[in-house]
Amino acid sequence: MRKILLLIFVIFITIPCNSQKNSYLEKNFTFIVELYPSFTAPCRIIFQNENNSKTLSVNIFYDKEHLQYLNDKNNLTPEKTDILLIDDWFKKYLGDTVYVYFKHLETIQVVDNEFQNFVDSLYKIDLTKQKSLEKEGIYDGIDVAFRFKTDSIDNCFNFQCPDPEDSTEFTIIKAIFNLLEHSYKLESTNNHIETLKGYFDFGLCVKHISDNPLEYRFYSHLSENDEFYNLMESLPRDKPVIFDFSNFGRMGTMFYDYFEDFIEENPNVYWIVVNNYTIKQINEIGVKRNRIFNNRNDAIKVIKRKKKHK
């Protein structure tokens, strides 16, 4: 009986402690996150909890110099750089220090269970008191600027290239990307989220999409690690496999041998590729043209047709 009472007491004092730690997230707040990656358009995310309505807005923006590289310049909204969280020293690298041009990707209504997952993942962290993380000797990668605002608190902080060793900072980054990946609806939003995610050390940039047919989505880039080698070894040699490279950036030629060996052992590998540079790399691997598709539906049709004629 004493053990049961002791257990109940421990539970009683522990649960309120955790809920009190992040109770500020249950109130109205605005959480702005700006990501500044090297070689990719910056992104501005606005997460709002207002009277229990939780919305997540995702936008990318361009400085005046990079507008010339856009094929589609429609639906861009000019905004003064004053709204950005970066300092004046950083703003001078935007070219035009007065205006940036926003492209809205998507506004999402965050469902309760995803919001609760976000809250739970941050139960040891207080965003109202979070400090900045600055590192020396890093000249590319990604910088992240934050602003967490309530009726009574306005806290700004920034992280420079956070990695898993920066446990608190990386937990915040991970919570944000988990929320984004489980909330978006549009492919264009997903593609940009994946590209940004590739700047952080989340492990192998590959997602398992389906089992029938077996499909994996490669995004951002490939880096040398055991996860990649384990994946290639685990793949079946007697079943169709789809490799979705539609949002893939680059890989070193060191990976070619592994793909070459696999398609020699399994002739039923289908590739979804839309980027010209990626197509070049796929051709260098030796993939046959009739195994390369620019969308998933066409690849599925070929797989079903082959299965039907067996």
Q: 183: buried, middle or exposed (CB in 10 Å: 19+, 13-18, 0-12)?
A: buried
Q: Is the pTM of this model over 0.95?
A: no
Q: Which of 164, 197, 230 is the last residue of a domain?
A: 197
User: What is the chain's mean pLDDT, rounded?
Assistant: 89
- Per-residue pLDDT of 185-230, as tens digits, reads 899 999 999 999 999 999 999 999 999 999 999 999 998 889 999 9
pLDDT score at 16: 43
Same domain, 43 and 77: yes
Contact present, 47 and 31 (Cβ < 8 Å): yes
Same domain, 119 and 166: yes
**What's the start-to-end Cα distance of the chain, in Å?**
67
pLDDT surpassing 50 at residue 50? yes
Distant-in-sequence contacts of 295-302, Cβ < 8 A, 24+ apart: 295/246, 296/215, 296/242, 296/244, 296/272, 299/242, 299/270, 299/271, 299/272, 300/213, 300/242, 302/270
Same domain, 139 and 164: yes
Q: What is the mean pLDDT of residues 54-67?
A: 90
pLDDT score at 95: 63
**Whole-number percent of the chain with pLDDT over 90:** 69
Look up the domain containing 129 and give its range. Answer: 26-197
Return d(Cα 61, Cα 42) in angstroms, integer: 6
pLDDT score at 4: 54
Contact present, 242 and 304 (Cβ < 8 Å): no
Overall domain count for the chain: 2
Same domain, 51 and 187: yes
pLDDT score at 12: 42
Return d(Cα 101, Cα 179) in angstroms, integer: 25
Q: Which of 197, 223, 253 is the last residue of a domain?
A: 197
CA of residue 103 relative to chain centroid, distance: 18
Task: For the sheet with 76-80, list strands across it.
Answer: 76-80, 99-109, 53-62, 43-50, 29-37, 142-149, 154-160
Task: For the sheet with 214-221, list strands across it.
Answer: 206-211, 214-221, 241-250, 269-272, 292-293
- Per-residue pLDDT of 76-107, as tens digits, reads 999 988 889 987 767 776 666 688 999 999 99
> What CATH number has the domain bearing residue 297?
3.30.750
Same domain, 262 and 294: yes
Return d(Cα 69, Cα 293) in angstroms, integer: 26
pLDDT score at 159: 95
Answer yes or no: is 20 within a domain.
no
